[in-house]
Amino acid sequence: MLPHELDQKSCESLESEAILRITSYHRRDFDAKVVTAEPGQHDHARSSLFKSFDESASSGLGRLQRLPFELLSSICLLLDLQSALNFNQASRGARETIWSIPQYHRLREHSLECIWALSRTGLSHHTSISDLHAAFLTELCVICGSFGGFLFLPSATRCCFACIESAPDFRIISFHSLQKESRRLATWLKRSHLVIHSIPGSYSSNEKEYTSRRKLVSGHHALQFPQADHDEDPRAILGKLPDSPVLRCMAACRLPYFNLATGDLQLGISCKGCQIAMEANFSDANFSRRERLYSRDGFMRHFWDCVEAKELWASSEGGMVAVTEPEWTRRGGL
């Protein structure tokens, strides 16, 4: 690349950074609408899940020592999260093996909240390291294709907040309500260890604090109910039960997107211009615009199509003048 091309690329990068600073913001309220660890709980999880060994701990792997490292790594990636954590605690040799696997190392560094949430909800037995890592490297919601800043815990699926609250694939129902409709289906889910134990907190757009733990089940898991020797249809059973955005949010958490090529870690950003548009003319379409998250590159593509964001940028005189922004965006949606 020629020197003048490098200078042009540098200028474009600086302008993009300024545009992002002036016209985008982080939706802090999304953090409070799904499973979120309280301050200090991450440290407790880190110390309990990844505690160090004393000098007397065994350093061997037993018969596993005979396996080539590549094969042992492949086996470890197929383990469910709980089994991987148990193996991690078996010996210094097991820990060194686990920690030397890049996928595990990335999750330990950047997805501790998800590991904590899966463990606390009782779903760590049903999520493999490879599945969680695949979601970590996925940018877009598997349902609608927009940027997905969340993980649906029962299926370890990358998703956006709008789909958490509305997509049929992400339905969550009360275990006790299901039990009243079909004791057989409820018993099968319980015996299969597919009952989700909610974590106290506030969820969805509901500001109510839920202080007790609830037993929940995923529609995704209920539909796996074998029907070979009975005539109960899980779809018909689920159709009789109420849907709840609050329960759905009890089975989701934030998950950053990791770009393996660049090493960039992103939670998603929102558009101040879309909030300005909604305040000027409230409609379902403008509300949906406001709720979307973007990657940095995705936001720049959106920016050139957003009239209000471009007007906000113009008022900043190229990022040199402070602008007046909506109170909503200034507070990050809180």
Where does the pLDDT of residue 11 fall: very low under 50, low under 70, confident under 90, or very high at 90 and above? Answer: low
Asked if residues 189 and 126 have their Cβ atoms less than 8 Å apart, the reply is no
Residue 61 CB neighbour total at 10 angstroms: 18
Please report where in the chains the tokens 């010996």 appear, as a residue: 91
Spatial neighbors of 117 by CB under 8 A, at least 6 apart, are 35, 37, 153, 199, 253
Instruction: Average the pLDDT over each of 18-32, 49-63, 152-166, 305-319 and give the range with the smallest value.
Output: 49-63
* Dihedral sign computed on CA atoms, order 150, 298, 323, 12: positive
Residue 10 has pLDDT above 90, yes or no: no
pLDDT at 49: 55
Instruction: Average the pLDDT over each of 37-46, 69-78, 232-241 and give the range with the smallest value.
Output: 37-46
Segment 134-159 mean pLDDT: 97
pLDDT at 43: 60
AA identity, residue 315: S
Measured N-to-C along each axis, helices 112-121 and 81-88 cross at an angle, to the nearest 10 degrees, of 110
Segment 75-84 mean pLDDT: 90
| Structure-block tokens of residue 60 | 């061997």
* Per-residue CA distances from 54 to 50, 84, 300 (Å): 13, 20, 50
Please report where in the chains the tokens 């979307």 appear, as a residue: 292
Residue 6 has pLDDT above 50, yes or no: no
AA identity, residue 250: M
